Amino acid sequence: MATDRVASLDDPQLRAFAPLVYVAWSDFDLDADERTHVLSTIAAQPWLTPQARAVIAAWTDAAAPPSADELARLRSLIERVSTTSSSRARAWQTRIASGIARDPATEAVAQGLARDLGMASPDAPPVEPSPASADATLVDALAEALDGAHVEERTRVRQFLATPRRAYDLPVPEQRAEVRSWLHELAATGLGALAFPGVTSTSDLAAFTAVFEELGHGDLSLLVKVGVQLGLYGGAIWALGSERHRTRLAAVAACEELGCFAMSEAGHGSNVAALETVLRYDAATREIEVHTPGESARKEWIGGAAHDARWAVVFGQLEVAGEQHGVHAVLVPIRTPEGGPLPGVRTGDSGHKLGLNGVDNGRLWFEHVRVPAANLLDRFASIDADGHYTSPIASPDRRFFTMLGTLIGGRISVGAGAVSAARTAIAIAIRYAHARRQFGPDGERRLIDYPTHQRRLLPHLAETVVNRIAFATLRARHSEAFSRVDPSEAMPDMRELEAEAAALKILGSRHAIAAVQEAREACGGQGYLSVNRIPELRADVDIFTTFEGDNVVLAQLVGKALLGAHRKQFAAGGTLAVVRAVGRRIATAVIEKNPIQSRRSDSSHLRDRGFQLAALRYREDHLVQTCAMRIKKRLDQGADGETAILAVQEHVVAIAEAFAERRTAEWFAAAEGTFPPAAREVLARLGDLCLLSRLERRAAWFLEADYFEAAKTRAIRKEVERLLAEVVPHAREVVEAFRIPDGCLAAPIAFFDPAHPLYGSSR
């Protein structure tokens, strides 16, 4: 025991704390409260792993003070580390010992110990100062612009996230238990009630999506658990149920009733209309029988199904009196309150995953399970006392798309949460880059001073800012649209909002993958260490591109919606309706190009928001028009509609990407006038960097389309380089303005000190 406890401190992450542990237990003039303060402050460091916290906890046990042998071993450890460390590292150890102690008396003892043990010497060179403090005025102004509405709710989330919560290196059962406990802790704050405006809160729907976005800075397993419990399970009840169903939402918000969202099936992927699960109404008993007819109908990848969920919103084909009415949803209990399986319900565990192992994804099978007919979520369709099926929406196709349309908030939340994960990774990398030094003419220079490093990180920083503003606009549009909806009435046409939500989900999740990967590489080997959180983010965010809709499938939905004349045609007629719609559009000529504009390359022109937006609009419109022409050509050659659409599938996907880039750019430009004056210049430069980087990335396309000449693409590249140099002095203020709690950054390199023995030079 004694050897293990001392040896456990001989770890790069914990060695610097060894002097304070020694101070706490030696015969210095420390009382019990002071000792507790020192040790608890050590344990509060946000980057410590659960194992490291366990080591500190072992040393804080008042009932198990160290023996004389342990103290002797501990002193030997400190002396060995001190004598083998550089002068810079010894000075760093002195500083952390006195800085964490905080209490003047304790600090004096720690400094005395440092001198006694040779951690500092009179001839030691002074420690290089930490990077200059950020401009607080600019940080506050940037934060005001980026936070926008719902600052109070964001602040509450940040207070919750300030307590370090990481479970990445625990066994799966323990990781799931930790995440489950965090879910209940979050519920206790009352933030979950914001998910159901008009029922459990008076706030607008955007308040909850802002909360969800902020949670994206923390452990993403918790984010997904919140999404399943409140966004999917509770959201389905809120959006698809009637008033009698909504009465249970208070318990859902408080996590007293844990549920899951059972839509996806093993055999059909994104083709929800083809679900096989049977929901058969029995008029004799006024019950709905839920049945899984075969393995392809098993519910797959259902968050919460493996362990935690007691209820499920199950989607399947409703059959009443022998007549099929399409996909509907019904509430089904799947476990007892104690967690045991209910008769007829079988569950399974999806198994270990690439990431998000704090989420208990599972499978569900139903063997003729019966539930009351009242469990049918009947906002858009019901079964009356005489067993007759009725719906305020006559068209089955429109009813189906209306039901799915109520759930688009999930795509908004997932996209915004992905961008939050990107912000976290970029913030860690930029903070590290401001302190980590590398080759230079006079010794070493900071990583952030290298143009290549700026090129790696700053365009992603700019993209996160533009996307943050765009998602704020989308949340407001979503909330405003749903605020006009009467629960007793059919949903209005939300085709445009659905396309926007899908497009931004694609853009946000793909950006997150690219940004986190670049942050990983920019941090070198440190970015590969789990303790520095970036590998965890990289694994966890990967699934964001495929859940709440596979990005490629969503892109086709967006592209077809843009090609179609209106939602009614698209929903009712599918592919043939799209073909008919685009056939009417091919007569419209492609936007004419301005030869003078195509050659202009001066800085004022390139930074003109009008030019940037016009270029992005041109790309989108050109892609729509040329796609329509390609479809028409194949139809003229005798191809059927399905074949014609499949032949241009990649073209359709490109339309969706162009739409997302144009839409987010327009929303950012529209918001610029609302930014605090102190932040406008920096945000304008970030906007320029983001939009010109997009144009630079699409340079080949613009050259092929004759919209740019070669000289202009070269000028855009040089302008991006100039913008990097202008943005870099403010990069630290921008990441500080994200207001990410230290408990979320939770990486030693995010709190980097140039004299740290792990990361600094020991030459």
pLDDT tier for residue 34 given thresholds of 50, 70 and 90:
low
756 domain-assigned: no
Secondary structure class of 187 (helix, strand, coil):
helix
Considering the domain architecture, whether residues 343 and 415 belong to the same structural domain is answered as no
**Is residue 252 pLDDT above 70, yes or no?**
yes
688 domain-assigned: yes
**Own/partner pairs for 114-122, CB < 8 Å, 24+ apart?**
114/19, 117/19, 117/75, 117/78, 117/79, 117/82, 118/79, 118/82, 118/83, 118/90, 119/19, 119/78, 119/82, 119/90, 119/93, 119/94, 120/90, 120/91, 120/94, 121/87, 121/90
Backbone angles phi, psi at 45, to 5 degrees: -60, 125
How do 299-303 and 361-366 pair as beta strands? antiparallel
pLDDT at 395: 79
pLDDT at 600: 75
Q: Decide: 312 and 364 in contact? Cβ < 8 Å.
A: yes
Distance CA 214, CA 475 (A): 13
Q: Model confidence over 468-489: pLDDT tens digits?
A: 999 999 999 988 887 665 555 5
Considering the domain architecture, whether residues 626 and 689 belong to the same structural domain is answered as yes
Domains of the chain: total: 3
Considering the domain architecture, whether residues 331 and 431 belong to the same structural domain is answered as no
CB burial readout 418-438, b (16+ within 10 A) else e: bbbbbbbbbbbbbbbbbbbbe
Section 612-634 average pLDDT: 92
pLDDT at 596: 61
166 domain-assigned: no
Considering the domain architecture, whether residues 718 and 599 belong to the same structural domain is answered as yes
pLDDT tier for residue 246 given thresholds of 50, 70 and 90:
very high
pTM of the entire structure? 0.85
**What is the percentage of the chain residues whose pLDDT exceeds 70?**
81
Phi-psi region of 300 (alpha: psi -120 to 50; beta: other; left: phi over 0): beta
Would you state the structure tokens that stand for residue 565, as one six-digit string?
Answer: 């004349």
79 domain-assigned: yes
Would you state the structure tokens that stand for residue 745, as one six-digit string?
Answer: 């950054």
Would you state the structure tokens that stand for residue 191, as one six-digit string?
Answer: 């933030």
Full residue range of the structural domain in which residue 56 is found: 2-116
Q: Model confidence over 158-212: pLDDT tens digits?
A: 999 998 888 877 899 999 999 999 999 999 999 999 999 889 887 778 899 999 9
Q: Decide: 110 and 23 in contact? Cβ < 8 Å.
A: yes
169 domain-assigned: no
Last residue of a domain, one of 396, 425, 449: 396
Section 549-563 average pLDDT: 90
pLDDT tier for residue 496 given thresholds of 50, 70 and 90:
confident
Would you state the structure tokens that stand for residue 389, as one six-digit string?
Answer: 């099926």
Q: Decide: 425 and 488 in contact? Cβ < 8 Å.
A: no
pLDDT at 589: 36
DSSP 292: -
Q: Model confidence over 37-49: pLDDT tens digits?
A: 666 766 667 767 6
Backbone angles phi, psi at 377, to 5 degrees: -75, 105
Distance CA 74, CA 65 (A): 13
Section 141-156 average pLDDT: 95
Considering the domain architecture, whether residues 608 and 537 belong to the same structural domain is answered as yes
148 domain-assigned: no
Secondary structure class of 278 (helix, strand, coil):
strand
**Count of H-run helices and E-run strands, the chain:** 32, 13
pLDDT at 341: 92
pLDDT at 663: 97
pLDDT at 577: 59
Section 97-113 average pLDDT: 46
Q: In the block, which residue shows the tokens 């004419």?
A: 592
Nearest to 753 by CA among 91, 53, 48: 91
**Is residue 759 pLDDT above 90, yes or no?**
no
**Is residue 25 pLDDT above 60, yes or no?**
yes
Considering the domain architecture, whether residues 6 and 52 belong to the same structural domain is answered as yes
Q: Model confidence over 207-234: pLDDT tens digits?
A: 999 999 999 999 999 999 999 999 999 9
Section 615-644 average pLDDT: 90
CA distances from residue 428 to 132, 217, 365, 381, 749 in whole angstroms, order as listed? 17, 11, 43, 49, 7
Half-sphere exposure of 716 (CA within 13 A, CB side): 28
**Is residue 100 pLDDT above 50, yes or no?**
no
pLDDT at 122: 40
Section 440-446 average pLDDT: 75
Last residue of a domain, one of 370, 396, 422: 396
Q: In the block, which residue shows the tokens 């009947």?
A: 378
Q: What is the 3-state secondary structure (H, E, C) of 436-481?
A: CEEEECCEEEEHHHCHHHHHHHHHHHHHHHHHHHHHHHHHHHHHHH
Out of 64-68, 120-124, 340-344, pick the least confident.
Answer: 120-124
Section 321-331 average pLDDT: 94
Secondary structure class of 756 (helix, strand, coil):
coil
386 domain-assigned: yes
Considering the domain architecture, whether residues 308 and 432 belong to the same structural domain is answered as no
**Is residue 351 pLDDT above 60, yes or no?**
yes
- Burial class from Cβ neighbours inside 10 Å (0-12, 13-18, 19+) for residue 564 reads buried
291 domain-assigned: yes
Nearest to 204 by CA among 474, 482, 505, 501: 482
Nearest to 96 by CA among 759, 755, 745: 755
348 forms bridges with which residues in the sheet? 363
Would you state the structure tokens that stand for residue 219, as one six-digit string?
Answer: 């452990």
pLDDT at 398: 79
CATH of the domain at 474: 1.20.140.10
Considering the domain architecture, whether residues 672 and 561 belong to the same structural domain is answered as yes
Backbone angles phi, psi at 386, to 5 degrees: -90, 5
**Is residue 94 pLDDT above 70, yes or no?**
no
Considering the domain architecture, whether residues 345 and 485 belong to the same structural domain is answered as no
pLDDT at 82: 67
pLDDT at 63: 77
Last residue of a domain, one of 73, 89, 116: 116
- Spell out the alpha helix ranges (H) of 2-148: 2-9, 18-25, 32-43, 50-60, 68-84, 87-101, 104-116, 136-147
Q: Decide: 564 and 577 in contact? Cβ < 8 Å.
A: yes
Positions marked catalytic: 548
Phi-psi region of 102 (alpha: psi -120 to 50; beta: other; left: phi over 0): left
pLDDT at 481: 80
Considering the domain architecture, whether residues 500 and 361 belong to the same structural domain is answered as no
Section 701-714 average pLDDT: 93
Would you state the structure tokens that stand for residue 450, as one six-digit string?
Answer: 């290298």
DSSP string for residues in 190-253: TGGGGGSBTTTBSS-HHHHHHHHHHHTTS-HHHHHHHIIIIIIIIHHHHHHS-HHHHTTHHHHH
Mean of the per-residue pLDDT values for the chain?
A: 84
Considering the domain architecture, whether residues 525 and 649 belong to the same structural domain is answered as yes
Considering the domain architecture, whether residues 297 and 433 belong to the same structural domain is answered as no
Would you state the structure tokens that stand for residue 160, as one six-digit string?
Answer: 């919750």
Section 642-661 average pLDDT: 93
Nearest to 103 by CA among 155, 59, 39, 151: 39
pLDDT tier for residue 84 given thresholds of 50, 70 and 90:
low
- Separation of CA 622 from chain center: 32
